[in-house]
Chains A and B, each alone.
Chain A
Amino acid sequence: MATSNTDTSNARKKEVKKETRLGLTYKKDKDFGEWYSEVCVAGEMIEYYDISGCYILRPWTMAIWETLQAFFDAEIKKMNVKNVYFPLFVTENVLQKEKDHIEGFAPEVAWVTKSGQSEMEIPIAIRPTSETVMYPYYSKWIRGHRDLPLKLNQWCNVVRWEFSHPTPFIRSREFLWQEGHTAFATQDEADQEVLEILELYRRIYEEFLAIPVIKGKKSELEKFAGGFYTTSVEAFIPNTGRGIQGATSHCLGQNFAKMFEINFENEKGEKAMVWQNSWAYSTRTIGVMVMVHGDDKGLVLPPKVASVQVIVIPVPYKDADTQAIFDACRSTVDTLCKAGFRAEVDLRDNYSPGWKYSHWEMKGVPLRIEIGPKDLANKQVRVVCRDNGAKMDIPMHSLVEQVKEILSNIQESLFNAAKQKREACVKVINTWDEFIAALNNKKLILAPWCDEEDVEKDVKARTKGEHGAAKTLCTPFDQPRLPEGTLCFASGKPAKKWTYWGRSY
């Protein structure tokens, strides 16, 4: 008896706790890693799963992914890129065709070895990326200069069986991405496209996700395995002092063309090799957004990508005309939806308004509208901004214009706040001691560098520790002036450029 009583009361307590426990256990500034995992789950972005490093992407996430997809897909179609789908499965011999390339990926490959009950004669790999799957076909499809440029893209999943600490969105064993693969007759065309795509990636981060990024070029050590040069957009996470590669646009040069015999007959009738690019961004973008904007109350979604931009909550005090309030809520949502906003109402009767506030704050909805008896009487609504908690009353008749303005302000101020935080972390240094001090202070370090591979390796070796080694993030296209005689912070040789350094994800 006693036991069963305790069980029931425990169960009840658990039930109650489940409904009321809305706050986050961890603080962003104190336990960033734990906070991040918790906010991803509590914000209903992701669900953990029995297989480590694999996550379920819930509707709240997919809506954001779809918004980014719609933007990017339309933009590349304007550039005359066509979508295709190449198979998930790769044979070993194809996978190993490009040696440098495969050295980079081989340790992370997942292998299918059985079909049904039988062992396969040759194991089959699951794509970690599709260069080697696609390029034999480029070799087949490209014959003459009229077949160029060939510009293809695919939206798909890829698998990289990494063993380092998996993190939702940021490092997962399966993720969603787009991978563009293009071939041109000339290097000029390839170079130009690399930058056009990089600009689209910048816009994804800055215009949609409200995250400032730095455009630049990767060092020889950090570039794509088998490529010619790599450009990237780099974001920064102030809390951990780590850089994070946001998306990459690679010029592959003619290296793959050589390996895969992607030749064409040029206008003079001579045989030539194509110039290739590949470029990708993934669901990682969403993780960066969570890290940059989230706070101790949960997610903070930029209005442009939020699947719900405005949540309307009725606040029926005792003895109030509940029906009239509910009707006002519904008509407010109608008005907003008709005006093109993504608005929803939460009419659930088993939760208090206070619980709902916390719930939608946790999910990061940019704007909350509260409607109570007083608002009804005054023909107004109370709005509360998720990003700074600002409250104001706005008259019903100017609802649409004001909501529009407020949302666009939120989008802008999220970006500005993120930019300010990042700027505050940038540290320009000139010496090794300054470098180490800045690194320990979680800074985004801008340093004069001699651009030698051995020096970067040496810096990596010298900074190796429990938090991981420092490396180059990128050499920004936007270069500050480099005074004559400036020396490399690490080698003391003449510096050639300013480069961002730091620890990274």
Chain B
Amino acid sequence: MGALRLPSLALLFSPSKALRSSSASRPLRLRPPVIRKVSASLSGGASRALSTQSLANEEATPPSAADRKPSSGPEGSVTPRSVDFNAWYLDVIASAELADYGPVRGTMVIRPYGYAIWESIQEYLNSKFKETGHSNMYFPQFIPYSFIEKEASHVEGFSPELALVTIGGGKELEEKLVVRPTSETIVNHMFTQWIQSYRDLPLMINQWANVTRWEMRTKPFVRTLEFLWQEGHTAHATLEEAEKEALQMIDVYRKFAYEQAAIPVIAGRKSRAETFAGATQTYTIEAMMGDRKALQAGTSHNLGQNFSRAFGTQFTDENGQRQHVWQTSWAVSTRFIGGIIMTHGDDAGLMLPPRIAPIQVIIVPIWKTADERTEVLNAAASLERTLRAAGIKVKVDDSEQRTPGWKFNFWEMKGVPLRIEVGPRDIGNRSVVVCRRDIPGKPGKDFGISMEPSKLESHVKSRLEDIQASLLQRAISFRDGNIVDVNSYEELKAVIGQGKWARGPWSAGDNEELKVKEETGATIRCFPFEQPLGKKTCFMTGNPADEVAIFAKSY
């Protein structure tokens, strides 16, 4: 039973919850699934009462319970968001089958439903990267330790988090190898060989890969030891081109967030203290989560000549002079999925923007008798064909052992944007009921929508667009209602104390920034690109200020 020696996963993912669990004396959920025999024997009906706390406890999630407990609803599957945001987040991930804990603490298994969200992120970004002239390639996962050491601030920033391979094929390795935390160093090592003259520039590449950072405090999607991401790396002949590229890519991310994920991020520049280790400028998109904490959802760095000087990445310019190249790097990771969950989810569970949703429409057939069953299932299948042919991601839940009510709750919890109900009476009327996930109850239902293919298709498509727009609008209202302008440090403290974001003029130094962090827990999220007009005075020092900064507590 070596597995028992593993540190408890939930403790690391969520300290507050671990305390509650241990007081409830249920070690069950703290264990990885390798010890299923134990968990199976412990998981009886008694676990139901505690099910709201369970991420690893499969008993509480409707799908795995399917064989044993035909019942009317996925009772107690998700802690209401309004009760405990963190517990809700973990429950949603477990119940909606987005992810499971990995065998090593702080790692995660991304399940099909979660991975499909990643694929829709990939599909959009990958085509944008290609449109903007980037090629995909793949760099090795192992980096010689000596590479990492070449750029001083880079190694300082990353060294506490590096995973090191020292044994391979049963032998001690001559040089320890770093499992890539990011690829700037190896990229530069190769750029140095590929770039000779100005004709080789700009060099613009991207890779989709896994990276590793040995973090102590982890949380599924938001911060895991290993995560998936894309990392773009470019080299340019001039600073201006590099700056333009860095800004272009943060704008690609911003558009993605707004248009696809319906997350109204604030794009801006990081403070010096928050700038990437080795960059001269870091641009960021910051998202406000449902608990009003900030999530850094994507970054784009102007690396200046820091790495090219460290690695001697030079080119011969048009005048025959040797110059160091100017570089950028930019990344979005599976963390973004955490952002989607925490932006749109509600007490009932996940709520997915239609453009990101792996399933956009769930069809729930309703029947009582065997005759009705055949008729209703045929109708459901024909609706499915119609919608699929129209390019809509649709699924029929025709399982027999669940009631329609249970299915309604289940697919709501999974965040599917639209539900179509079809019963015997609807078939008589040649119509269906279409229900929106984002508007509960009657107001969100459209009755008597014609089954006629072209009518149904256009109704569903326009509803999906409505939902997409309304999720964004709702998130914008929430964001704007929770950003408060401040003009003194006292005001900032009060605003941060209420859990909101504070926006105020800032020209103070790193020390004052550190003071704010230590005293309030808030950091500068960014100097937003969109700045208010007018003269500004730094709320901390009283000196003139060029810009406002946004302060918030963050993930």
Contact = CB atoms under 8 A, between A and B. Distances in A.
Given A56-B140, A117-B159, A140-B33, A91 B109 contact: no
Contacts of A111: 165-168
Nearest to A262: B36
A94 to B, nearest CB: 5
A114 B140 contact: no
B103 A136 contact: yes
Given A88-B212, A136-B36, A51 B140 contact: yes
B225 interface: yes
Interface stretch (A118-126, A202-210, A241-249, A429-437): A118-126
A159 interface: yes
Contacts of B142: 51, 54, 174
Contact of B109 (A85, A94, A110, A261): A85
A88 B224 CA distance: 12
Nearest to B211: A88
B137 A55 contact: no
A84 B67 contact: no
B115 interface: yes
A89 B107 CA distance: 8
Contacts of A140: 33, 36, 58, 64, 100
Nearest to A114: B164
A93 interface: yes
B526 to A, nearest CB: 28
Interface in B114-147: 115-116, 118-119, 135-142, 144, 147
B115 A85 contact: yes
A84 B34 contact: no
B199 A59 contact: no
Contacts of B104: 87, 89-91, 124
Size class of the A contact interface (CB-based, 8 Å): 35 or more
Interface string A223-265: 0000000000000000000000000000000000000010001
Interface string B149-173: 0000000000111111111111000
Interface of A: 18, 47, 49-51, 54-59, 61-63, 66, 82-94, 106-117, 122-124, 126, 133, 136-137, 139-141, 143-144, 146-147, 152, 156-157, 159, 161-163, 173-174, 176, 261, 265, 348, 350
A94 B482 CA distance: 47
Interface string B173-187: 000110100000010
A94 B166 contact: no
B137 A115 contact: no
A166 to B, nearest CB: 12
Contacts of B273: none
Contacts of A126: 165, 179
Nearest to B138: A57
Given A93-B2, A112-B179, A114-B164, A84 B109 contact: yes
A348 B137 contact: no
B510 to A, nearest CB: 24
Contact of B165 (A58, A66, A113): A113
A265 B210 contact: no
Interface of B: 2-3, 5-6, 32-34, 36-37, 58, 64, 66-68, 100, 102-104, 107-112, 115-116, 118-119, 135-142, 144, 147, 159-170, 176-177, 179, 186, 189-190, 193-194, 196, 199, 205, 209-210, 212, 214, 225-226, 228, 399, 401
B214 A116 contact: yes
Given A59-B136, A116-B161, A261-B37, A143 B167 contact: no
Nearest to A269: B67
A56 B190 contact: yes
A140 B228 CA distance: 24
B3 A94 contact: yes
Nearest to B179: A112
A108 B147 CA distance: 25
A137 B112 contact: no
Contacts of A93: 2-3, 34
Contacts of B209: 157
A47 B190 contact: yes
A141 B166 contact: no
Nearest to B164: A114
B107 A136 contact: no
A50 B147 CA distance: 10
B387 to A, nearest CB: 17
A89 B103 contact: yes
A18 B401 CA distance: 71
Given A115-B162, A115-B164, A140-B36, A122 B5 contact: yes
A429 B205 CA distance: 52
Contacts of B167: 110-111, 113, 123
26 contacts: A50-B144, A51-B177, A54-B141, A55-B140, A56-B139, A56-B140, A59-B205, A84-B110, A85-B115, A85-B118, A87-B102, A90-B104, A91-B104, A93-B2, A93-B3, A111-B166, A115-B161, A116-B160, A116-B214, A122-B5, A133-B103, A136-B33, A146-B399, A147-B64, A162-B169, A265-B67
Given A56-B138, A139-B33, A115 B214 contact: yes
Nearest to A83: B115
Nearest to A94: B103
A18 B199 CA distance: 15
A123 B226 CA distance: 16
A59 B135 contact: yes
A401 to B, nearest CB: 28
A123 B5 CA distance: 13
B169 A163 contact: yes
A72 B135 CA distance: 21
A177 to B, nearest CB: 12
Given A111-B165, A115-B162, A136-B32, A86 B190 contact: no
Given A50-B144, A88-B226, 13 more contacts: A54-B140, A56-B138, A56-B139, A61-B138, A83-B116, A84-B109, A84-B112, A87-B104, A88-B210, A89-B226, A93-B34, A137-B33, A161-B168
Given A82-B112, A87-B108, A112 B37 contact: no
A110 B228 CA distance: 20
A114 B64 CA distance: 37
A4 to B, nearest CB: 17
B66 A137 contact: no
A219 to B, nearest CB: 26
Contacts of B107: 87-89
Contacts of A156: 210
Contact of B6 (A47, A91, A261): A91
Q: Which 8 A-B pairs have the closest CB atoms?
A: A144-B67, A93-B2, A82-B112, A59-B135, A161-B168, A161-B169, A115-B214, A54-B140
Contacts of B225: 89
B318 to A, nearest CB: 11
Contacts of B68: 143
Contact of A348 (B5, B169, B199, B214): B199
Nearest to B228: A85
Nearest to A49: B140
Nearest to B119: A83
A117 B162 CA distance: 8
A159 B177 CA distance: 13
A135 to B, nearest CB: 10
A88 B180 CA distance: 12
Contacts of B212: 88
Contacts of A143: 64, 66-68
Nearest to A348: B199
A477 B111 CA distance: 36
A161 B176 CA distance: 14
A136 B34 contact: yes
Contacts of A114: 162-164, 166, 176
Nearest to A134: B109
A163 B173 CA distance: 12
Contact of A157 (B111, B116, B160, B210): B210
A92 B5 CA distance: 11
Contact of A261 (B36, B115, B137): B36
B109 A87 contact: yes
Contacts of B6: 91
